[in-house]
Structure 1
Amino acid sequence: MAAIFLLTLLAFGAHARVFPSMNEFQFRAGEMSNRQAPAPPATGPGSDQAFAMTEAPVGSPIVRGGTTTPSSNDAVVTTVASRTPCSSGSGKTCNPKGGPGLSKQPNIVFFIADDLGHADLSYTEGNLQTPTPNIDKLAWDGIILHRHYSNPICTPTRSALMTGKYTFRIGMQTAAISDGEPWGVPLQFKFLPQYMKDLGYDTYATGKWHLGQYNRASLPSSRGFDQSVMLMAGDGNWFNYTTGWITPYPMAGRMIRENGKILFANITNNNYFPELCTTYAEKWIRNHNPNNPFLLYFASTVPHTAFEDYGAVMHTMPQYQLRPPVFSFTDKYPSRKKCIATIQALDEQFKRVTDALTYKGIINNTIIIFFADNGAPIPSSYQFVHGSNHGSNWPLRQGKGVMFEGGVRTNSFIWSPLLPKRGRITNQLFHVSDWLPTVYEAAGGDVNQLGDKPGDLSGMSQWKSLYNGLNYGPRTELVNNIDTINPQYAMIYQDTYGGLYKIIGGNIFDNSFLGWYRTPDTSDSNPQTVWTPAATECNFPAGVEVSKCVPHLSPCLFDLVNDPCELNNIAASYPSMLQLLRDKITAYNATGIPSEIKPFDPAADPGKWGGFWVPWKDPVEVVDNPPLTFMPFNPSSSY
């Protein structure tokens, strides 16, 4: 088998590595006819974190997505009102047969990991500390996007995904939205779910929002999602769903909303948030009308850092702490041990979502897209990015918050039985803004109708190249970001010979650390990895700089094909290429708009609103009217 594998690599070349498809993932609905969806896991009492909450009244009805349901335990089953699918005369701009190569519109599932380190999935660098078999098996049977780029922090990446535009063109280039700041993605920019609804799709969202909450028009329920259960902020307590500030003075409030309304403590019962999101996703899939295509936006909060202590990793659970790779990991690095436990929770979330699609009998007509919003925040940067989760981007340089590869080159793959040429790695340039036009075309939409005019989007549809099994796509350059407030910029350019050149300039936080963070408890002699075809080959000793790069003093230039770990700054050797990219940055910057960022507004203090973060700038409805009323969702999974 090993010999066959090596021959396959030689036959297709280093830039088109192909692997046998895993036919066991070619699920057929008929095979599942005698299988039942698993029962919810056994649960027990949860941690209340001593946060007093006003409980919602029990016993009155609530309208959800057009369906009136009584307040009872049975009422957790909700449905989206049937939407008129695409058809001649429907007025919709789509093809009910789906995009090129498809006989019908596919279901689309986005699964986004939060602050996931490049090395913290086992398929990427073969990391033995973080086995992720459920994610890995679809990555290897899908198409691994070896050059997938996101923005370096949360809000900008999500903004680019939702709008299909570079963040400097929508005012979202500078920072992540913090609690109580009155800004978000400008309302004139249409969101991904709104485009998909134009094509007849039902839309669901769970997990982390982080795109604006100061008014109701910025909430998920107003930006295209039929059903949503989301933590509105960038981070928060995973049991009582509170988030807040340490300075200018301590404050905290509950931040979770369902369909735009606060979810009270007696509704969620302090359920472990990753578990809560997964259960909602399972429910939506189970009760979805199979005659309608759907979009599921599963924006996991795992493995983000904690807000209450910026040096801490987020909460984990005993069922993940006791898994052998976690339990056997050394106690010398307790934060790293906690991090790898949360990554087990991420893998479990992915498994349960894909299982739900299988049990429903719809996985054969579903496209699953996985990516991380940015790299892991490394310990040296914790004070600038609200903590470190002690994830690993090794051997890539730096991490979250900066535009070295460790911050922006993110793990990603696409999987579907609808893709005939999968089980491979592609090196085509892919930017997070490309996903909107890509799935829109796959769903039967005309990409020329996206935006205000043809070419209005920064993203490019890569559907045809993915479907046809190509190792190249329409993109030959991308801008990582341009920010003039926290001055920094970076972009990547592909020349006519396939070379990839990256320019990076500006500040790296306080410019005190510009290097690499090795995976804890590893060394050159004990890397704790196994070889994988997706691993990064630095071509220089990992973590040892060859030619110094100090981007706040002068821009650096890297040859990413031969130096993916950014060890050798070639700016002095290639002045013409450096100048070409500087000119391109100048031209791109001329297409930008001012940043939307605004400072904290004391009027948002949850202490003024009963302990909740509310849309305090809304001109009509600051406090929910009527409030959400419901019986407890299910017991906590804290056991």
Structure 2
Amino acid sequence: MDALVLCFCLALGLIHTTEEKVLRQGRVPPHIVFVMVEDQGIGYHGSEIHMPVLDQLAGERVKLENYYVQPICSPSCSQLMTGRYQIHTGLQHSIIHARQPLCLPPNIPTLPERLRQAGYSTHMVGKWHLGFCRPECLPMSCGFQSFLGSLTGSGDHFSFQSCDGTEACGFDLHYGEWPAWELSGNYSTRLYTERVKEILRGHDQWTPLFLYVALQAVHTPLQAPGHLLRNYQTLGHRPLRHYAAMVSGVDESVGMIVSELRERGYYNNSVLIYSSDSGGQPVSWGCNWPLRGGKGSYWEGGVRAVGFVHSPLLKTKGVVSQALIHVSDWYPTLLSFAGYRESDSSYLDSQDNQWPALLLNLNGFGIWDTRVRAAIRAGDWKLLTGNVGDGDWFPPQTMPGGPQQWKGMEKRRDQRRKSVWIFTITADPYDRADFAYGPDDEEPDNTNRKARSKSTC
């Protein structure tokens, strides 16, 4: 059976075959815990950073190895919340800045709104970053019954001071719609974890629960408490020590959440989904090696994300799914878990099954201008156009000198005067062997031949 079918069908499709069967047996639909982390490039693929919990949880159930998100946070989160591509929500260009009068369109149904209609309690902890310019833009106006977290991005992890790139700064930690001044001084990852535990302790287990945990880690500023930093005293660079400690803090947080699920009796009827919102940010020590590029780009290192599904409802263990999955697909998939049926799903850009193609970005419709920043993956192929971001490869900073076998690889050589790239991603996940030619290319040249000969994984 296809690994995606295992992931999407076994997690209720085969176990709770239909909504009617669930009701007839008196079973509660599964509790859903969705953990979204920021800018995590490293994840259960081998690293000097300690991630025992994530390694174990991912290895025990379903790893998503062809899982795509957007290269920055607001577009990725908007697609999770709506099941629609960002070209339909006006969020395809950038993040939502602190003083920008923009938010998730209030007329589009959100995932928590639909889950509440299905009988779920819905709670959010962590970073929203989908707008706050009007009351109807806030999390509790978009379907969540409670909210503790920040409304903007990149705030201080201890003081919760957030600045918009100018002299304008403010306190950004909110409980519901009000500032939570009294919680300043706590480390964000630990604070959010304690709030999750508080929700689990006070919730009625016989009511299905949707818990959206959007950790700000490992986004800058790179900050971590002392007990996590002590594990990395031997790493040479101070920023790298803080980055590694933040990743370990995420691992510790997920471990605490799973322990609480077990202790409070939720675990056996729960589905835990773990996802990064983008690739890692190399300038902030994030690592996507050996994928090309990073956060902010449409190279594989910017949009192929860490993701897994863990649930005791999945009886098959150790599955590695190569199926094509996009962050927007969680919207219909989780509604299917909940037994909710959309009366009209034609407005969605997602589905709870395998996509033959993923549109990663497109700015407008009509004639496709190749100068416009856009990306699409269809089956084995990936097409990029326009300025798709920094195309360097960034070796792991923890490896002195980087891996020797990649010493002579290209460094953005193919971005000069080019606006079209074509790759066979299944054979060449590193975006190296370009099948499109720019104005200065001689077709076919020896460089491209050599690159193609080395592209097979």
TM-score range, shorter chain: 0.7 to 0.9
Residue 438 of structure 1: which of 322, 327, 333 is its match? 333
Q: How does 1:87-102 map to 2 (within 5 A)?
A: 95=19, 98=22
- Equivalent position amino acid for 2:395 in 1: R
- Equivalent position amino acid for 1:233 in 2: T
Residue 39 of structure 2: which of 115, 133, 137 is its match? 115
Looking at structure 1, the residues matched to 247 and 22 of structure 2 have their Cα atoms a distance apart, in angstroms, of: 34
1:596 aligned residue? none
Secondary structure class of the residue paired with 2:19? coil
Q: How does 1:197-596 map to 2 (within 5 A)?
A: 197-247=116-166, 250-264=167-181, 267-306=182-221, 314-323=222-231, 326-329=232-235, 331=236, 333-379=237-283, 389-446=284-341, 448-449=342-343, 453-462=344-353, 474-483=354-363, 487-494=372-379, 500-509=380-389, 513-522=390-399, 541=406, 544-545=409-410, 549-550=414-415, 553-572=418-437
Q: Does the 8 Å CA contact 1:395/1:542 hold for their aligned counterparts?
A: no
Distance apart, 1:104 and its partner CA: 3.7
Distance apart, 1:178 and its partner CA: 1.1
Secondary structure class of the residue paired with 1:557? strand
Looking at structure 1, the residues matched to 134 and 291 of structure 2 have their Cα atoms a distance apart, in angstroms, of: 39
2:454 aligned residue? none
- Larger Rg over CA atoms: 1
Q: Does the 8 Å CA contact 2:396/2:402 hold for their aligned counterparts?
A: no
Looking at structure 2, the residues matched to 478 and 328 of structure 1 have their Cα atoms a distance apart, in angstroms, of: 42
Q: List gaps (5 residues or longer) in structure 2.
A: 5-17, 439-457
Q: Does the 8 Å CA contact 1:241/1:256 hold for their aligned counterparts?
A: yes
Distance apart, 1:181 and its partner CA: 0.9
Residue 160 of structure 1: which of 55, 75, 79 is its match? 79
Q: How does 1:43-62 map to 2 (within 5 A)?
A: none
Distance apart, 1:374 and its partner CA: 0.1
Distance apart, 1:421 and its partner CA: 2.3
Q: Does the 8 Å CA contact 1:98/1:443 hold for their aligned counterparts?
A: no
TM-score (norm 2): 0.86
Distance apart, 1:337 and its partner CA: 1.7
The 3 A distance-change label for structure 1 pair 549 and 489 is same
Distance apart, 1:429 and its partner CA: 0.3
Distance apart, 1:190 and its partner CA: 1.1
Distance apart, 1:394 and its partner CA: 0.6
1:134 aligned residue? 53
The 3 A distance-change label for structure 1 pair 547 and 378 is closer
Please tell me whether residue 106 in structure 1 is matched to residue 30 in structure 2.
yes
Q: Per-residue CA shift, 1:581-632, capped at 9, x if unaligned? A: xxxxxxxxxxxxxxxxxxxxxxxxxxxxxxxxxxxxxxxxxxxxxxxxxxxx
**Identity over the aligned pairs, expressed in percent?**
28
Q: How does 1:624-639 map to 2 (within 5 A)?
A: none
Looking at structure 1, the residues matched to 411 and 322 of structure 2 have their Cα atoms a distance apart, in angstroms, of: 25
- Equivalent position amino acid for 1:105 in 2: P
Secondary structure class of the residue paired with 1:295? strand
Q: Per-residue CA shift, 1:465-508, capped at 9, x if unaligned? A: xxxxxxxxx310001111369931001001xxxxx100011114
Q: List gaps (5 residues or longer) in structure 1.
A: 1-11, 18-93, 307-313, 380-388, 463-473, 495-499, 528-539, 574-639
The 3 A distance-change label for structure 1 pair 454 and 514 is closer
Q: Does the 8 Å CA contact 1:208/1:230 hold for their aligned counterparts?
A: yes
Looking at structure 1, the residues matched to 22 and 391 of structure 2 have their Cα atoms a distance apart, in angstroms, of: 46
Q: Per-residue CA shift, 1:63-93, capped at 9, x if unaligned? A: xxxxxxxxxxxxxxxxxxxxxxxxxxxxxxx
Secondary structure class of the residue paired with 1:172? coil
Q: CA RMSD in A?
A: 2.6
Looking at structure 2, the residues matched to 98 and 171 of structure 1 have their Cα atoms a distance apart, in angstroms, of: 38
Distance apart, 1:272 and its partner CA: 1.2
Q: Does the 8 Å CA contact 1:376/1:407 hold for their aligned counterparts?
A: yes
Q: Does the 8 Å CA contact 1:96/1:104 hold for their aligned counterparts?
A: no
- Equivalent position amino acid for 1:377 in 2: Q
1:69 aligned residue? none
The 3 A distance-change label for structure 1 pair 544 and 362 is same
The 3 A distance-change label for structure 1 pair 161 and 102 is farther
Distance apart, 1:220 and its partner CA: 0.7
Q: How does 1:610-621 map to 2 (within 5 A)?
A: none
- Report which stretch shifted further, 515-524 or 233-242: 515-524
The 3 A distance-change label for structure 1 pair 458 and 552 is farther
Q: Does the 8 Å CA contact 2:160/2:184 hold for their aligned counterparts?
A: no
The count of aligned residue pairs is 419
- Equivalent position amino acid for 1:199 in 2: A
Looking at structure 2, the residues matched to 526 and 506 of structure 1 have their Cα atoms a distance apart, in angstroms, of: 30
2:445 aligned residue? none
Looking at structure 2, the residues matched to 97 and 434 of structure 1 have their Cα atoms a distance apart, in angstroms, of: 24
Q: Per-residue CA shift, 1:18-63, capped at 9, x if unaligned? A: xxxxxxxxxxxxxxxxxxxxxxxxxxxxxxxxxxxxxxxxxxxxxx
Looking at structure 1, the residues matched to 126 and 408 of structure 2 have their Cα atoms a distance apart, in angstroms, of: 35
- Equivalent position amino acid for 2:265 in 1: G
Q: Per-residue CA shift, 1:273-301, capped at 9, x if unaligned? A: 11111100000011110110000000011
TM-score (norm 1): 0.62
Q: Does the 8 Å CA contact 2:127/2:151 hold for their aligned counterparts?
A: yes
Distance apart, 1:420 and its partner CA: 2.2
Q: Per-residue CA shift, 1:90-132, capped at 9, x if unaligned? A: xxxx937559x99540000000110111xx22x22x11x2120
Distance apart, 1:454 and its partner CA: 3.0
The 3 A distance-change label for structure 1 pair 493 and 252 is same
Looking at structure 2, the residues matched to 375 and 428 of structure 1 have their Cα atoms a distance apart, in angstroms, of: 19
Q: Per-residue CA shift, 1:224-277, capped at 9, x if unaligned? A: 111110111011011221101333xx121011111122112xx21421111111
Looking at structure 2, the residues matched to 337 and 373 of structure 1 have their Cα atoms a distance apart, in angstroms, of: 22
- Equivalent position amino acid for 1:159 in 2: S
The 3 A distance-change label for structure 1 pair 205 and 552 is farther
Q: Does the 8 Å CA contact 1:106/1:367 hold for their aligned counterparts?
A: yes
Q: Does the 8 Å CA contact 2:299/2:388 hold for their aligned counterparts?
A: no
Looking at structure 2, the residues matched to 157 and 560 of structure 1 have their Cα atoms a distance apart, in angstroms, of: 21
Distance apart, 1:377 and its partner CA: 1.5
Looking at structure 1, the residues matched to 20 and 241 of structure 2 have their Cα atoms a distance apart, in angstroms, of: 48
2:448 aligned residue? none
Looking at structure 1, the residues matched to 327 and 408 of structure 2 have their Cα atoms a distance apart, in angstroms, of: 27
